[in-house]
Amino acid sequence: MTIAASLAAPQAQSDRIWSTAKRATALFALIFLAACQSVIPKGGQRPSGPPPVESPDPGNVVLSDGDRHRVALLLPVSGADGDVGQSIANATTLALLDTRNTNIRMTTYDTALGVDAAVKKAVADGNKLILGPLRSDDVVAVANVAKPAGVPMISFSNDVGAAGQNVFLLGHLPNQSIDRVVKYAKAQGYTRFGGIVPKSVYGQRALSNLTNSVRGAGGTLVSIQEIDGSAASIDAAARKLTAAGAIDAVLIADNGRVAIATVPALRRAGLSNAKILGTDLWNIDATVASNAGMRGAWFASVSDNMFRQYADKYRARFGQSPSRLSSMGYDSVLLVARVAQDWRVGTRFPVARLTDADGFIGIDGAFRFLGNGMSERALEVQEAQAGKFVTIDPAPRGFTPAK
């Protein structure tokens, strides 16, 4: 399931590469849509006690541990983030069933009961790869145990500070989303940019990302203002942006709730015609599309095309809708299953295979890991319309050559 594409390739080579990508996508669709027997009661299974919890064996084929790769899934399947964590765990089970994979033993360890205990148990149990954790503040704790043990991690976090040294981030990275939407806006004639970012580590990184993206696109960065999420700070930031000079596009690097509260403040402050831009955080918040003030706003994100089909399958099996983040769980299993074809049981996980320059295809489209542990994704630009997000600029056909 690889996708090979180069935006810098000659036309003939580009057509051949894209044909390969389409065949890979078709193969993925066949696996994804394949019928399989359910081994989980409708509604799913929440662990009734402490971890670990093993995923069912696809096809009811029972293999000995000596015949299977041991992979740990570190997620919060209880507590405040339990719904999201359980949805990702369910997605990994669905992927194992859809691929009918029998040589991977997936075991879930509940990080909500203590991340240190979870990772130590996972390593002691002999797992050769860790999928997770979900929360950024858990990545370092897991890495501190996993790295000395020689166990690589594919984390669902987007904390770029944790990447590297066999820690790979499958989470959607905000710098790519910001860069994609800024470049698209510049191509549509928007040249003078403003920004609203939260007072947080995420906000500081977004500030740097926006600065670099505007400069790289050849635009002018007029002003960036920080907010703490309160109405007073949002109003003050809006007034400061207006006072800084003419602005024709404002990027709000925050979640949908904050964006919905910020747009009216921008309009009141005088930025009545400024194009509103955002990040892929908006793609997990349906209220953005349904809010009248957000109509016409642009943001860059992974495609939702395959996710819609996946969501239907998920609902049919588990009796509820999946978290938008759960696609990472499904894609992580597709990735491991692909690598496991040449992975000898009992040996270390072949980390070098993760950085295949051609990348991989999953529910969220084309992606690949770079040598620094970060992921690169082919993103599309979406527009918030009446109750829905509509693709206005499709994802590129592939990747430029890795540096």
User: Which residues, including other chains, have CB under 8 Å from residue 211's CB and lie 6 or more apart?
Assistant: 221, 224
Q: What is the pLDDT of residue 220?
A: 98
CATH number of 174-301+382-393: 3.40.50.2300
Pairing of β 365-369 and β 69-75: unpaired
Residues 175 and 234: their CA atoms lie apart, in Å, by 23
Q: Which amino acid is at 292?
A: A
How far CA 109 is from CA of 112, 130, 264, 327, 337, in Å, comes to: 9, 10, 44, 19, 20
Q: In what order do the strands lie in the sheet with 129-131?
A: 53-54, 104-110, 69-75, 129-131, 153-155, 167-169
Distance CA 163, CA 155 (A): 9
Gap between the Cα atoms of 42 and 317, Å rounded: 6
Low-confidence stretches of the chain (pLDDT < 50) are: 1-51, 57-63
As to burial, measured by CB atoms within 10 angstroms (0-12 exposed, 13-18 middle, 19+ buried), residue 11 is exposed
Q: Which residues belong to CATH 3.40.50.2300 in the chain?
A: 53-169+304-372, 174-301+382-393
What would the two tokens of residue 76 be?
């919060």
- With CA atoms as reference, report the closest residue to 27 among 380, 360, 384: 360
pLDDT at position 141 is 93
Rounded to whole angstroms, how far apart are CA atoms 382 and 278? 10
> How many Å from the N-terminal Cα to the C-terminal Cα in the chain?
22
What phi and psi, each to the nearest 5 degrees, are found at residue 71? -125, 130
What is the arrangement of strands in the sheet containing 380-385, beginning at the earlier edge strand? 220-227, 192-198, 249-252, 275-278, 298-301, 380-385, 388-393
pLDDT on residue 163: 84
Residue type, 366: A
Instruction: Tell me which H or E stretch contains 4.
Output: none
User: What superfamily does domain 53-169+304-372 belong to in CATH?
Assistant: Response regulator (3.40.50.2300)
Calpha distance 194→185 (Å, rounded): 12
| Bond preceding residue 50 cis, omega within 30 of 0 | no
pLDDT of residue 342: 80
Which residues, in sequence order, are bridge partners of residue 92?
A: none
pLDDT in tens, 56-81: 544 444 445 668 899 999 999 999 99
Q: Quick one: pLDDT at residue 71?
A: 96
